[in-house]
Structure 1
Amino acid sequence: MVGIYCRISKHKEEGKDVSIAVQKKYGIEFAKSEGMEFRVFVDEGISGRNEKISERPEFALLLNAIKNKEITHVYCYDQSRIERNNTIWNMFVSLMLEHKCKYYPSGKFLDLDVPENKFITGVMSLANELYATVTGIKVKEAIAINAKNGKTHGLCAYGYKKGDDGKFAVVEKEADIIKRIFQMSLDGLGTYTIAKRLNAEHIPTKFNQFSGNFRRKDRYTKQITTYKKENIIWRGNVVHDIITNPVYKGVRMWNGEQVPIPAILTEQYWQEVNDNLENNRKKVGKRDEYHYLLNGITYCADCGSEFRGKKRLKGKDSAYKCKGKSKHYIKCNSRGISIAKIETFIIYHLFLAKGLQDFLAGLPENTEKLDELKEKIGKEKKELEYLRRAEEKAYKNLADPDFEDDEKIKETLKTTKRKIKEKENAIDILENRLIERSGENRLKRVENILGQYHLDAGFDETRRLVHSLIKRITIKHEPNKRSGNFLVKIEYRGFDEQSIFMTNWQALNWYCLSYYRSRAITKEDLKEDRELARYLLKSAGKSTKLPKDFVGFEASSVSSDIIKLNPTELIYFD
């Protein structure tokens, strides 16, 4: 199979570089002329100077396909598509020779094992790197010259747009909002209060006018969350950045130099508001960095919001608290719980007490869930195959001179490629869940994780182990005398079963109320559930024949396990 590699850098003007469509076209024509199947790899908007393979995803896939001997021939429009970095080129040549993969720049075979060819391509690689470096310098110089002449580069600050002459132009409607923000700050309002007012009045942010998404990675769970730009709201830090931005007094900073642009405020007024900004802030000093073991997996039973750790070593405030309580539109009656106590309890429950390990070890596979996952994976793979055929068809259409500039086909191809990536990610997630749930695999995984823990483990290692075992913790506060009780439900990765614990406001004695099951666990459980089901059906005057997929009743088993914490032996990470 021929691997057709196509790449184009960011911000290329029409005619300044060979388009992806043209590169694909010649690649597909070459594959057809050789009578070979092909697979196209496209890195769009990515520099060939980049040494990090992980930041060139399609190139990484090509290299992996070569290693797996899925690709036996590599086509590229020219060598500069592969790299503009000599280190990358040497690595590429080494891999091609190791796996006996043939190289076809511009569709002509070039034997990389011939010394003369190695020398020539090595010189070309150095020339490509030099060209990229010089081009990069020229681009930076051009941007600097434009900036010094008052021209915009990239996204303009709120209140401005790119004018017809390429320079900054004031957006009057947004400028009025800027003036309001500065006046509210001068009147003594804090930046977060100002943000709340703007949101309450439904005043759009800079990003609300754009389509597309933001992606942010949670620093605790590493999960990526997607936010629509049209839903971005005002935040206190954004308001603060606006107030301290000198562009609004007509000064744009570029490489340490001041560049004049149209001002929205007078310099004197801007300075007055910034001097006053310090009076609107609490003098909290340097912010300390703390560690929270359960951030990202702990949630409130009352409102569904996340519980987050909030620690102040100099004060008494050191608890996991519901984030929903800080939002005026959410009604929540939850209460904070001691960080050290709940973290110590979780460590004892998972690694030091034996009740959990015995409970999980006695659970059989949920074959129904496994079958559901296998069915979903099969369905997703069929849809992925359909999308890949649609992608191949689109590439073939673009290879036809009559359709190579058809924007509708290009847009369809772009959408199809996005769906393929989404589908591949979905399959990976499902396959990982299948591995987690498979009986032998999940028990080995649990035993392996439990065996890795030791009391002198640091925060990062302990957090990794805890998050590997626990999927979700849900905390419910039950008001009662002397500050009430906490009910804590723990869900485990790869299992349907859950544990429910209760403790009072002191959080030193943790009582295991029950182990929840979603189905019969043992053969004896299933036998009892079948007998009960037949009895209930007979009492209701219905047929006592049970379906073949009957797996028992959802139920809870009472437990008498207690985990007692010694207040002098609590585990602290700070």
Structure 2
Amino acid sequence: MSDFPLKRIAIYCRVSTDEQAKEGVSLEEQRTRLQAYCRAMGWTVEIVEFIDDGYSAKNLNRPALNSLLQQIKNGDIAKLMVTKLDRLSRRLLDLLQLIELFHQYSVSFISTSESFDTDTPSGRLTLQVLGAVAEFERERIRERVFDNMLHAAKTGKWLTQHPYGYRLDEKKLVIFEPEAEIVKRIFHMFVNEGLGYYSIAKKLNEEGIPSRQNKEWSLRSVKLMLANPVYIGTLAWNRIDSSKKKRESKDENEWIVIPNAHPAIIDQDTWDIVQERMNKPQVPSRAKTSPHILGGLLKCGKCGASMSIDWSGWPKRHRVYRCSAYKNKGTCDSKPYRADDVETWFKKGIMELIDSIDTTCHEVTIQKVQKENKEKIEQKMKHAKERYSRQVEAYTAGLIELNDLAKEKEKMEQSILEAQKRMETNDSSHAYSELETKLNTQEMTILESFAILPIEEAKARLRLIVDKVVLHGEENLELVIAI
């Protein structure tokens, strides 16, 4: 039951941030017009105001509007007034849903500028027609903006705020060396030191190196930088769908991708390694920062579950690695192993790793590398063809000229030719040579790092060559190489 003896008249006013500076749409102007209309109609019931200051009409998620709708559902509102239809919403679907709600609760909707009242059939018809026109005009504006931005993107012009590591010079990106050095360092820490997003952010913050606008680095800011193709000179536009309440990434087929649009800070090979590593399942932060060498790496040879540190013995306690399936579920009968023993076996295994690689292992490694390289090459060829198909559609729609289409075809053919050459050179000897070099150059570095580096950094380096360690029994460790 309503707390008020008479239903009230609601007036709703809204301005978006862009409209606040424009003449004729201010909140005060809307309020004055609506109150004058009520006086002219001789309405004497209480008038309650609902004001959304600085909110767009692209959706209905506005505080004052939400409060208004709640009062309508409570039965407190008899009429709702706005100066213009688009004050309430610019989307026809939202408008029709609201009108249905008003009708359900016997609330009439009045727009003073369009001169209609939804209490009448002609008013409801007019409202729907005006709503359709408003949405059509909005889509036309969006389409024109998209076309203009598409043209700018294709000419290599940067359309938004410059990214970290660059500055804008006549809408073109140029490298800003002080920040570019930090970008290179972040990629180096991720690729060559094996540090994760959190560890990189922590290290930069500890050194007092600011990110954009003198803010601190975060896990998210590091991750976004490592995934941003701008650093290899590629302009990738239309990646995010911001029309929805929650911003989502669009399908790659919808991206506008222009390689070599501006100077690159990171080379292509480093970029490829980073993207491949980012697409792998991430190791939990707790495992990375564990003070125990094999924390997050060691697996049970009986059931495959992770083995974590526990404590045993009394009164002199010592560390042990225990199967988590045994510890938490009782589903494995693996016994605990002294941590010092296991870590000693592991260090010995690292030293013997290269000598233990026999011919069979060579073949398995080679086949795996060849398969992964082939898949990458085929994916690049596919993307080149998809980009060209999008350009054909753009030419058909009159968005680009014939010479632009010809250039894109030339790029596609060049990409396919380079991919085919890489396919031909994807031989086994090269694959194994890379692996052997990798192991030889990092074997001693990793063992030495346990003595001189913080455990977090030492383990990060370890993960560069070891994917996991499987404990099968006394002095029986299986080291799975990270290829």
TM class by shorter chain equals 0.3 to 0.5
- TM-score, normalised relative to structure 1: 0.40
- In terms of fraction of residues, the more helix-rich structure is 2
Tell which has more relative contact order, 1 or 2 (C-alpha 8 A, sep 6+).
2
